[in-house]
Amino acid sequence: MMDDSESPRPSLDPLTLRLTAANALIRRRRSIKPADMDPRPVERVHLAAILENANWAPTHGRTEPWRFTVFTGDARERLAGFLQALYREKTPKEEFRDDKFEKLGASPLQAPVAILVGMKRQDIEKIPAIEEVEAVACAVQNMHLTACAIGIGGFWSTPPIVYTPEMAQFMGLGPQDQCLGLFYLGWPRDDAWPEGQRNPMSEKVTWLDGGESQP
Ligand SMILES: Cc1cc2nc3c(=O)[nH]c(=O)nc-3n(C[C@H](O)[C@H](O)[C@H](O)COP(=O)(O)O)c2cc1C
């Protein structure tokens, strides 16, 4: 006779399992600002996993245009200084805002990891620039989802100065390439994880089944 420990487990449909896991991860991913991160370090093994998954983004023509410069520890001060200097240089006096200047200096130090995100075009430029940007965005999403799976918060930040040629140069990129922002990583303070919010998908999808009078 079988006792309880020997009774067969209910079989779980693998598709349902995979889909449930994907749904949960995608919907849990949140932007967590550097100001809401705490100073606990992000371990190398976690950072490596996050970066490795960036490399598995889709890429038209297999150009793999994503480039990252990772700042941790004291190197973040160099980044903060550069961002502030560039903001001062590029912003007309009447538009200069002290709070923006301060934030550019503070964010890289609040987050234990600050990553400059770059797009490198292939030499022959066969693939349109927009598609290279799209591929990099996919890579950032892979990073963000991986961070979320670990419990680490991520934040993609795009102050206007990131799109300047000086920023690409700072990353060691060429004139055809572009910096696409900063991606901050860090543990959320008190492990607080914000709720997400979206408008209904039905407002954003048009369905055509061939029976309609207009295309
Ligand atoms: C390309 C891109 C650039 C972004 N740049 C900024 C930014 O400069 N400042 C900011 O507050 N949020 C920025 N965000 C993050 C959005 O604010 C965030 O994704 C949005 O509020 C939805 O929240 P969620 O990511 O938690 O779902 C950016 C997101 C993307 C995809």
The burial class, CB within 10 Å (0-12 / 13-18 / 19+), for 43 is exposed
Pocket mutation for ligand 1, best pick of 29, 37, 157 (most atoms within 8 Å of C-beta) = 157
CB 117 within 8 A of CB 50: no
Just give the CATH number of 32-189.
Answer: 3.40.109.10
pLDDT at 16 over 70: yes
Give the ligand 1 atom nearest the CA of 30. 26
CB 120 within 8 A of CB 129: no
* Residue with CA closest to ligand 1 atom 1: 156
pLDDT at 89 over 90: yes
CB 104 within 8 A of CB 159: yes
For the chain, the farthest-separated pair of C-alpha atoms sits apart, in whole angstroms, at: 85
Domain boundaries, the chain: 32-189
Q: Which residues line ligand 1 (CB under 6 A)?
A: 30-31, 156-158, 181, 196
Per-residue pLDDT at 183: 99
Model confidence at 138, pLDDT cuts 50, 70, 90, reads very high
**% of the chain beyond a pLDDT of 90:** 91
Distances (CA, A) of 123 to 10, 59, 63, 176: 55, 16, 10, 9
How far, in Å, CA of 34 to CA of 43, rounded? 17
Per-residue pLDDT at 211: 87
Q: What is the overall mean pLDDT for the chain?
A: 95
Segment among 5-9, 28-32, 135-139, 173-177 with least mean pLDDT:
5-9
CA of 139 to the centre of ligand 1 (A): 15
pLDDT at 188 over 60: yes
pTM of the model: 0.94
